[in-house]
Structure 1
Amino acid sequence: MVECVVRNWDGEQVGQATLELQVAKAENASHIVHRAVVRQLANARQGTASTKTRAEVRGGGRKPWRQKGTGRARAGSIRSPLWRGGGVIFGPKPRDYETKMNRKERRLALRTAIQSRAEDIIVVEPFADKLPQPKTKELVQAIARWGVEPESKILLILNEREEMVYLSARNIANLKLISATNINVYDVLDADKIVTTASALAKIQEVYSD
């Protein structure tokens, strides 16, 4: 169990929040989290890379010169992989990179990843009402008041999508906005700081508690 300080829009401490998730055993934690990250990155690949073999390259049907008597190496096609413009040997072909992982393992890996970042989690009060219209500058200033360095890579987790918060955050280059039900292992581990509202933290514990 980890106790997190809750801050308001002005950066003042206004309460405490508890983060308590069931995580993997210490000896297995890094392995299962690594598997989850590899799976996520592999499943994101399109797998559309494709090269042509010598059978698929246009041309090359005629023998370029006779077999003997020219003094040159024998050649049967100008589309040989040894020739410029020829086919590709063992090049990539469209394939599916999808990797399977049990649902219980995926959820365990996510809980373990979240709990491991407890020291970098900043909990704030819901602040959608502080942005009646899109104001990127005000959101940047608030993030600074919460104790986040300007150049840090930030993962902002909300309970649900708030349109004004989204419009205010989308132009911040090093910030990624995500809802509590859509968090993933890679984003949790990739961020330098994780900013979450108290309601989003409660939602995470409700959804991923087991």
Structure 2
Amino acid sequence: MVTCVVKNWQGEEAGEASFELSAAKEENAAHIVHRALVRHLANARQGTASTKTRSEVRGGGRKPWRQKGTGRARAGSNRSPLWRGGGVIFGPKPRDYSQKMNRKERRLALRTALQNRVEDLIVVEEFGEQLSRPKTKDLLSALARWGASPDEKVLLILPEKSENIYLSGRNVENLKMILATALNVYDLLNADKIVTTNLALQKIQEVYSD
């Protein structure tokens, strides 16, 4: 059981929130989180890099010179990989980099990563009503009051999509907003501070518990 202080819009203590997520054993934690992170980064790769082989390069149909008698090395095509403008040997071709990982393992890695970031977790009250209209300055001021400085990479976890919050924070360089139902290991590990709300924390526990 982890207990966190809940802050209000002004940055003052307004109560406590607790959550409990089963994490991996200490001897296996680093391994399973690493696997989940590698999978996430691999699945994000496009895999569209492509080069042409000697059979795909345009031209090269005619033998450059006769086989014998010229004193030069024999050549059958001016699109040989040895020639300028020729094909590429063992170059990249479109491929699928995606890796598989069991659903239970993915969830365990996610819970473990979140459990290890408790010290950097900031829980706040629902603040959607405080932003009656999109205002980036107000959102940045609130983040500073909560303990997340503008220089730090902040992950803001929301229980549901809020138009005013999204429009207020979409242009902030170091701020990433994500729904509680769409968490991933990379964002949890990459952020310096993780800001979430009471309702989002409940949703995380509901969705990602065993």
Which TM bucket (shorter chain)?
over 0.9
Pick which of 186-195 and 44-53 moved more: 44-53
- 1-side partners of 2:192 and 2:82: how far apart? 48
- 2-side partners of 1:139 and 1:70: how far apart? 77
For residues 181-202 of structure 1, give each alpha carbon's deviation from its aligned partner in whole angstroms, at most 9, with x where no partner exists: 0011111111110000111011
1:138 corresponds in structure 2 to 138
User: Pairwise mapping of residues 27-106 of structure 1 onto structure 2 (< 5 A)?
Assistant: 27-106=27-106
1:23 corresponds in structure 2 to 23
2:10 corresponds in structure 1 to 10
- 2-side partners of 1:88 and 1:32: how far apart? 38
State yes or no: 1:178 paired with 2:156: no
For residues 154-205 of structure 1, give each alpha carbon's deviation from its aligned partner in whole angstroms, at most 9, with x where no partner exists: 1000110111000001011110001100011111111110000111011101
Equivalent position amino acid for 2:87 in 1: G
For residues 94-120 of structure 1, give each alpha carbon's deviation from its aligned partner in whole angstroms, at most 9, with x where no partner exists: 111121111100000000000010000
Equivalent position amino acid for 2:208 in 1: Y
Equivalent position amino acid for 1:173 in 2: E
- 1-side partners of 2:164 and 2:71: how far apart? 76
User: How far 1:149 sits from its partner (Å)?
Assistant: 1.7
User: How far 1:41 sits from its partner (Å)?
Assistant: 1.1
For residues 66-91 of structure 1, give each alpha carbon's deviation from its aligned partner in whole angstroms, at most 9, with x where no partner exists: 22232322211110001111101011
SS across alignment from 2:188: helix
- 2-side partners of 1:126 and 1:169: how far apart? 16
SS across alignment from 1:176: strand
Equivalent position amino acid for 2:180 in 1: A
Structure 2 unmatched runs, 5+: none
User: How far 1:20 sits from its partner (Å)?
Assistant: 1.5
SS across alignment from 1:156: strand
- 1-side partners of 2:121 and 2:84: how far apart? 55
SS across alignment from 2:196: strand
- 2-side partners of 1:123 and 1:97: how far apart? 36
SS across alignment from 2:46: coil
Give me the TM-score of the superposition, normalised by structure 2. Answer: 0.98
Instruction: Confirm or deny: 8 A CA contact 1:158 1:196 kept in the other structure.
Output: yes
1:154 corresponds in structure 2 to 154
- 1-side partners of 2:81 and 2:193: how far apart? 50
Instruction: Confirm or deny: 8 A CA contact 1:2 1:18 kept in the other structure.
Output: yes
User: How far 1:142 sits from its partner (Å)?
Assistant: 0.5
